[in-house]
Amino acid sequence: MPGRDGPGATAPVDPRSVRVVRCARAPDPDGEPDFGEVVWTRVPYEEMDGRGKDRPVLVVARAEGDWLLAVQLTSRRRDDDHEWVALGSGPWDRDGRESRVNLDRLLRVHPAGTRREACALDAARYRMVVHRLQQRYGRR
């Protein structure tokens, strides 16, 4: 499964330690993950016990080298202590359920670790997520 093992494995990263090189919506339906696109990758569980799940993530920026930064989407109702941003529904969920992104968990994703493009998020929702990340962690 892409993103599971090796040097291209998807992994959480401390947002304060990342120097984002570029953050601009640029979707292109070319099979490669781009800023503003929802793509699928294996996301490790927060317990970091070796388990994980194939999940949609929103690509928000580029870090050093070829690495991308993304936030995880979920359709589960979340009332825990994480900071969630409501996105509404979109084609990334075939059942049309409302989704949220977790601002507390930034993921480092390698393009080779993604499985497929789900869709491009519209510019307004992408800007909202990026703005909230910048408010939370400072401009980068």
Query: Over the stretch 13-65, which tens digit does the pLDDT of each residue have?
Result: 887 776 655 677 777 777 788 889 999 898 988 766 667 788 899 999 887 77
Strand, coil or helix: 40: strand
Q: How far is C-alpha 55 from the chain's CA centre?
A: 9
Number of residues written out for the chain: 140
The predicted pLDDT at position 88 comes to 92
Measure the CA–CA gap between 14 and 37, rounded to whole angstroms: 22
The predicted pLDDT at position 139 comes to 59
**Per-residue pLDDT for 119 more than 80?**
yes
| Sequence-distant (≥ 6) Cβ neighbours of residue 84 within 8 angstroms | 78, 100, 101, 102, 103
Cβ contact 42:84 at 8 Å: no
Cβ contact 57:41 at 8 Å: yes
The predicted pLDDT at position 79 comes to 67
| Residues in a beta bridge with 45 | none
Residue that wins the pLDDT comparison between 60 and 5: 60
Residue that wins the pLDDT comparison between 18 and 91: 91
69-103: burial string, b at 16+ Cβ within 10 Å, e else: bbbbbbbeeeeeeeebbebeebebbeeeeebbbbb
**Residue 91: band (very low, low, confident or very high) from pLDDT cuts 50, 70, 90:** confident
The predicted pLDDT at position 99 comes to 93
Measure the CA–CA gap between 117 and 83, rounded to whole angstroms: 25
Residue that wins the pLDDT comparison between 132 and 6: 132
Measure the CA–CA gap between 58 and 68, rounded to whole angstroms: 10
